[in-house]
Amino acid sequence: MPEVHKYVGFLVEAVFTVGWVWGLIALIRRRSPGQGFWTWLVVAQVIAGVQAAIGLILLLLGYRVTWLHYVYGFGPLVVFLIAHQMAREVHASEPGGRLSQPWVVFAAAAFICFGLAGRALMTGLGYG
């Protein structure tokens, strides 16, 4: 089971990378990332949730790692919850510039989650 958690961790990191790079390219091109971005968001949230569930199962089975691993590992779930609230507020507010679009909030959240997941992966692998 720990091996599955490790490989899903690499998948989580890759999925978050896709999200923030996609958002960055959309910002540079000055265009919306399109409907596919929202599909990516669903996939990213599901994979992050599955990874957290696997981690909880491992914890219940007696596997232990440094406490920072748990902070970094569950961080993306918290970031996505905050991003949803922020995106709702951005969507409800008056129209603004390009940076006041809900997808920009989720692209930024993907960047933060990329960092958190990377640190979770490092602590889980024993690198810090």
Name the residue with higher pLDDT: 97 or 104: 104
Q: What are 1-41's pLDDT values in tens digits?
A: 789 999 999 999 999 999 999 999 999 999 999 999 999 99
Q: Model-level pTM? A: 0.89
As for how many domains the chain has, the answer is 1
- pLDDT given at position 89: 85
Structural domain that includes position 21: 2-124
Tell how many helices (H) and how many strands (E) occur in the chain: 4, 0
